[in-house]
Amino acid sequence: MSLDDKLINEINNKIILSDFIGRKVNISRRGREFIGLCPFHEEKTPSFTINDDKNFYHCFGCRAHGNVINFIMKDQNLDFVGALRTLCKELGLDFTKYSKNNQTYLNRDIENIKNILNLTENFFIKNFKSSLGKNAREYIYRRNVLEDVCNEFNIGYASKFSNNLFKYLLENSFSEDFIIRSGVVGKSDKNGNCYDFFRHRLIFPIHDYRGDLIAFGGRSLDSSEPKYLNSPDTMLFKKRRTLFNYHRAREYSFKQKRPLIVVEGYIDVISMSRAGISNVVAPLGTALSEDQILLLWRTSDEPIICMDGDKAGYRSAVRTLSIALPLLTPGKSIGFIFLPDGEDPDSMVRNKGKEEIEEILKTPLSMFDFCWKIEYEHIKLDTPERRAGFKNRFETKISLIKNYEVRREYKKSFNYFFSKYFSNYNTYSNKMYRGRDNLENFNVFKDNIKMSITSGSNKKNYSFSREKNLILAIINNPILLKQIDEEFSKVPFENNELNKIRSSLIDKFVGLGDINESDIENWFKDDNISILVEECFGDKDFKTNKLIPPYALKNSDLNFVIKGWREAANLQSLWYKKQRIKKYSKK
């Protein structure tokens, strides 16, 4: 234990947090906690809590959080050392007793561990390039990670031998104690023998945000479990606070002004970096921790979680969502990308190329949309009771968000969507319900399907062009249908052929639950549809977009498309009503 730790523990043991803060803040007990008005921001309703058992305070309004040292630092505007001196004076402790030679002590420990890690890295690299690493080289080369990339990432190999590394480090004059504290060697509780922590594994060095080596990750090359193994926590390495490749991705993200992308494993990171997508990191586990999310937000306001196209990837995304919701603050969020079924970033890059995965990364699903999708698509909502249960579950999720402004915006968004989808309780049931796991790809891969309307054809029907534009907007922007499906089905159409096209689109949407450009292309291949399209749009006019209003063209601004579409739909409804009035007034 370092001397600083001894002093901090002494302070925490001697101070009861509620007594100390209670001198400045008027607090009252509520269950196991104390509550009062926050001293760090103005508020009328108490949101500042103190938990003596866990030894921390937390404000749900401004998110101030910490122990007694953090409180003194914030309250009196002191640095860490200044806060320690103040508390030592309060408790009658001799600060110089604890701080004497402390920095030298810590620096010596850190320097020793860094030297062990650097020597270990060279040891693993030498193994990888020797005859011992033949199988490891063959494995990584099969993944299209060639020698130059292996050199860039300092990929190594830990042999099958139980204590070769330990012997090597002892021969280089390091003590057993420091070797174990570095995390590369363990000690058996049964017989007290030391053993190499990594055996028969492909080795990936792990760095901190500065690029300093702090740990290793190992990928099993046989059936050994776990498949991926990281160094144990040390004085340099804390797994929950570290992201693989963060130091490289951070610099690239800043320079290129691109968001960080989170993938699942080391190989995914390396494959995407090899393809020129260098703003990629990976957690050292299956889901992101709170600390890792905060680390991402230090570089990117809206990092993207790119999950494998399988059930495990979907479950991991759900866990990440649950962890991130309470942490949301204005301007900070997370986007989600789900790859096609059976794909991961490595396989996408190898089989389909950089361009396709970059196209997918352009359209992440927002956190709110993912929340809605989780609750909305996998349960029937055809009764008042089920809709009430859905509403309660969603509102419970929203209540987890600690920041008031973000929580309020989520409530507004939920109320809007709930009203939109369930405005007619007697007839509406969510058409997106599947009743099975659904990992459909949310992304569009193809170029714009260009269609145009005829100029002045069918002049007897003044709504003919507008009806075609309402359909055309969906053909060029298939994702639009998910937002306006109910409205689209109710807009009155005068032209029978266009009405058949509209009905066919709705049937396809209901059948698939969602449609993308590939689905539209397949839809065009239907002989009946192609004949109807031919009749309504005309071959000659397919080549020009001159008469199409902007909302009906392909557009990345979905809000603009929705606004234009609804304005046209309202005009169509008004026109139709006027026609009915004229018709019946003549009678």
- CA–CA gap between residue 423 and residue 577 (Å, rounded): 22
Contact, 49 vs 58, CB < 8 A?
Answer: yes
Q: What is the pLDDT of residues 427-439, one digit of tens each?
A: 444 544 444 333 3
Q: Which pLDDT score is estimated for 2?
A: 47
pLDDT, residue 91, reads 83
Radius of gyration of the chain from its Cα atoms, rounded to whole angstroms: 31
| Pick from 519, 499, 510, 370: nearest CA to 429 | 510
Max Cα–Cα distance, the chain, nearest Å: 107
Q: What is the pTM of this model?
A: 0.59
DSSP state of 511: H
Whole-number pLDDT of residue 373: 87
Strand partners, 282: 244
Sequence-distant (≥ 6) Cβ neighbours of residue 174 within 8 angstroms: 112, 115, 116, 119
User: For every one of its 587 residues, what pLDDT tens digit does the chain have, with 9 covering 90 and above?
Assistant: 344 567 887 788 778 888 889 888 888 888 778 899 999 888 888 999 998 878 889 998 888 888 999 898 888 878 788 888 888 888 888 777 665 555 555 678 888 999 999 999 999 999 999 999 999 999 999 888 889 999 999 999 999 988 999 999 999 999 999 999 999 999 888 888 999 999 999 999 999 988 999 999 999 998 788 889 999 988 889 898 899 999 999 999 988 889 999 999 999 999 999 999 999 999 987 679 998 999 999 889 999 999 888 888 888 899 999 999 999 999 899 999 998 888 889 898 888 888 889 989 988 999 999 999 888 877 788 888 888 999 999 999 999 999 999 999 999 999 988 887 776 544 444 544 444 333 333 332 223 333 333 333 333 445 678 888 898 888 888 888 888 888 888 888 888 888 888 888 888 777 777 788 888 888 877 777 777 777 777 644 433 444 577 788 888 788 888 888 988 888 888 888 777 776 666 55
pLDDT in the model for residue 322? 92
Check residue 76 and give its pLDDT. Answer: 86
How far apart are alpha carbons 526 and 565 in whole angstroms? 26
Rounded Cα–Cα distance for residues 372 and 344 (Å)? 24
37 CB-contact burial (10 Å; exposed 0-12 / middle 13-18 / buried 19+): middle
User: 438: exposed, middle or buried (C-beta count within 10 Å: 0-12, 13-18, 19+)?
Assistant: middle
| Mean pLDDT (the chain, rounded) | 83
Q: Are 246 and 254 in contact (CB under 8 A)?
A: no
Query: How high is the pLDDT of residue 584?
Result: 61
End-to-end CA distance of the chain: 96
Helix boundaries (H) for 336-381: 345-352, 354-360, 367-376
Please tell me the distance from the alpha carbon of residue 402 to that of residue 290, in angstroms, as a whole number.
Answer: 14
Distance of CA 251 to the CA centre of its chain: 20
| DSSP conformation letters of 74-125 | HHTT--HHHHHHHHHHHHT--HHHHHTTHHHHHHHHHHHHHHHHHHHHHHHH
Contacts of 97 by beta carbon, 8 Å cutoff, 6+ apart: none
